[in-house]
């Protein structure tokens, strides 16, 4: 029997899984870490401690639990949060904390500068994406403008998965799906870095490109000594966590949409051709000739963590979920804007603010928690409406992630989007997708086999609610009517 190993680094937790050739789980492991928020609008990780340190701990735990010899592992695949920006020196050592994906909004000024210099339409045509807080290019320019000393010492700019692959193999690589988020540095037509911006960043500072299941290299002696893995084990280039999570539940055909319930809601839909819409993100999918259209909220699971830590200390999520379930749909007339870290799609407004609106002295903590969940679900509905307006309405939604265990959140999302959601048997997400991609990379599985590895378990059907029909238009109006106040607050 051969095995594959998948490890995913998330915003607050890393997970790993070891599976056999049939997709059966042999061992699972996880390790928590924290997101570093040195100032409002910034979000960081310590790459060595949070990314590589978690990978080492998880790999050792999987090998110990399974008692499988490391030589029996046929391939390793990793995924991680993204897109991130990590400058490393000539020895591959991080020069600063990694700047995280769209929840980090520090490069607002650089977005404006690049749009003015290059042209927003040119960027959208060339890169497939408008510049937003999700784009890595402005964050590299932020580094160059604000820390020229560090930029001068930078050998490569990596994302999270690239850093793990380098630590394992000594190779600097990146998949096309991740690279498309490095706007305006990636040309989606040429499927390559663009030299039109060499004055901003020499192309030598960017990793070699490939596809997620390409073999990046093999485990080095140094990496083997740290992890317990066997020297020479193949390692794939890997991808961003959301893509691996989509793979884990069978997203593959045009019209398939993944809704990932995690620290943020992230959405990926496979499309027959490129979707050109500045409110959405575009990337080549995980193999040649395929396409994906993405969207994401800035706060989702992070909002539930904030709620518990701030308003419900010493209370577990099960208790909060039960309290929310006891509140009626519509949370007794309470609205929540979930923009506690600004907002990504479709608003792309880093200055948007979170709010509870409509509070009175009869409202309970359960009402507030339900309103928070319904606010996230409303923001998800805003995204699915954006897809429909771009002539890319989904034909099938597959839900995945820890948030699928919250029945109120899951049902509110189906009710507000008016779309059914399929939940598969295994919901551990990206690490399982990684293990499957590793199997595909070495030929022990074929892409269609994911339906055997992880079949559907249940379908959440929408239930029309008069409360939502009344409150959703009011929820949409609340942002519009308070936007100027939010921006004035800074």
pLDDT of residue 103: 87
Which residues of the chain have a pLDDT value below 50? Answer: none
pLDDT of residue 401: 87
pLDDT of residue 360: 98
Contact 422/397 with Cβ under 8 angstroms? Answer: yes
Q: Is-cis flag, bond preceding 83, omega within 30? A: yes
Q: Is 158 exposed, middle or buried (0-12, 13-18, 19+ CB in 10 A)?
A: buried
pLDDT of residue 429: 87
Contact 452/246 with Cβ under 8 angstroms? Answer: no
Tell me, yes or no, if the pTM score tops 0.85: yes
444: left (phi over 0), alpha (psi -120 to 50) or beta: alpha
Q: What domains are there in the chain, each with its CATH number?
A: 3-242 (3.30.420.40), 250-426+455-490 (3.30.420.40)
Quote the CA–CA distance of 41 and 105 in Å, as a whole number: 5
């Amino acid at each position: 029997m051969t095995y594959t190993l998948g490890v995913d680094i998330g915003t607050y937790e890393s997970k790993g899984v070891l599976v056999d050739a049939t997709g059966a789980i042999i061992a699972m492991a996880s390790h928590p870490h924290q997101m570093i928020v040195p100032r409002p609008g910034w979000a960081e990780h310590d790459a060595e401690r949070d990314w590589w340190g978690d990978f080492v701990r998880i790999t050792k735990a999987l090998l110990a639990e399974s008692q499988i010899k490391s030589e029996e592992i046929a391939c390793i695949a990793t995924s991680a949060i993204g897109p991130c920006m990590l400058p490393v020196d000539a020895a591959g050592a991080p020069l600063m904390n990694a700047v995280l994906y769209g929840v980090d909004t520090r490069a607002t000024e650089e977005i404006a500068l690049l749009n003015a210099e290059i042209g927003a339409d040119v960027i959208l045509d060339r890169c497939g994406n408008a510049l937003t807080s999700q784009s890595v290019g402005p964050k590299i320019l932020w580094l160059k403008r604000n820390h020229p000393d560090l930029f001068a010492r930078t050998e490569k700019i990596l994302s999270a998965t690239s850093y793990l692959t380098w630590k394992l193999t000594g190779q600097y690589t990146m998949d096309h799906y991740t690279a498309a988020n490095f706007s305006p540095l990636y040309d989606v037509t040429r499927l390559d870095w663009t030299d039109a911006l060499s004055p901003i960043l020499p192309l030598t500072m960017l990793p070699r490109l490939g596809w997620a299941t390409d073999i990046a290299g093999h485990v080095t002696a140094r990496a083997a000594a740290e992890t317990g893995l066997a020297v020479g084990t193949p390692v794939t280039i890997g991808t961003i966590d959301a893509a691996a999570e989509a793979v884990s539940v069978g997203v593959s055909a045009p019209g398939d949409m993944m809704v990932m319930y995690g620290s943020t809601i992230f959405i990926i839909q496979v499309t027959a051709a490129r979707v050109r819409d500045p409110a959405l993100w575009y990337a080549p999918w995980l193999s040649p000739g395929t396409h994906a259209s993405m969207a994401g909220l800035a706060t989702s699971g992070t909002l539930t963590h904030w709620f518990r830590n701030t308003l419900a200390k010493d209370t577990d999520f099960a208790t909060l979920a039960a309290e929310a379930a006891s509140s009626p749909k519509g949370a007794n007339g309470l609205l929540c804007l979930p923009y506690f870290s600004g907002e990504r799609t479709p608003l792309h407004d880093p200055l948007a603010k979170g709010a509870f609106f409509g509070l009175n002295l009869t409202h309970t903590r359960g009402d507030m928690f339900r309103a928070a969940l319904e606010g996230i679900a409303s923001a998800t509905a805003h995204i699915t409406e954006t897809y429909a307006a771009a002539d890319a309405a989904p034909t099938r939604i597959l839900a995945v992630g820890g948030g699928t265990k919250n029945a109120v959140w899951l049902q509110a999302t189906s009710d507000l989007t008016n779309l059914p959601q399929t939940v598969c048997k295994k919901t551990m997400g990206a690490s399982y997708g990684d293990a499957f991609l590793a199997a595909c990379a070495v030929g022990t599985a074929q892409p269609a086999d994911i339906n055997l590895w992880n079949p559907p378990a249940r379908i959440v059907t929408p239930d029309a609610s008069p409360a939502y029909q009344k409150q959703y238009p009011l929820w949409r109006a609340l942002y519009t009517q308070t936007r100027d106040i939010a921006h004035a607050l800074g």
